[in-house]
């Protein structure tokens, strides 16, 4: 019981500042919205299909994978 008292603030803060933005971003990825106006139109998987077919996205994705692999190697060597 005592541990629940200490964990409650952490769980509440994580829900407010971590889980809610992640879920809201995922929901917004299925809509056409400029981020300012109130009207959001549901466009399904169009944003995702546009992302998958974009060459710049894949170039950036592969650059991030390369950086991650190099960093992992340094971490393993230094560990």
- Taking only the tens of pLDDT, the chain with its 79 residues reads 788 899 999 999 999 999 999 999 999 999 999 889 889 999 999 999 999 999 999 999 999 999 999 999 999 998 8
- Biggest alpha carbon–alpha carbon distance for the chain: 53
In which domain, by residue range, is 66 found? Answer: 53-79
Count of domains observed in the chain: 2
Residue 78: predicted pLDDT:
87
Contact call for residues 40 and 27 (beta carbons, < 8 A): no
In a shared domain, residues 18 and 39: yes
In a shared domain, residues 39 and 12: yes
In a shared domain, residues 64 and 27: no
In a shared domain, residues 31 and 67: no
Quote the CA–CA distance of 38 and 14 in Å, as a whole number: 27
């Amino acid at each position: 019981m005592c541990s629940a008292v200490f964990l409650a603030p952490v769980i509440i803060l994580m829900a407010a500042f971590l889980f809610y933005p992640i879920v809201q971003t995922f929901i917004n990825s299925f809509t056409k919205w400029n981020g300012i106006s109130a009207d959001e139109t549901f466009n399904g998987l169009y944003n995702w299909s546009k992302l998958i077919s974009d060459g710049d996205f894949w170039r950036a994705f592969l650059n991030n994978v390369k950086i991650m692999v190099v960093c992992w190697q340094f971490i393993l060597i230094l560990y």
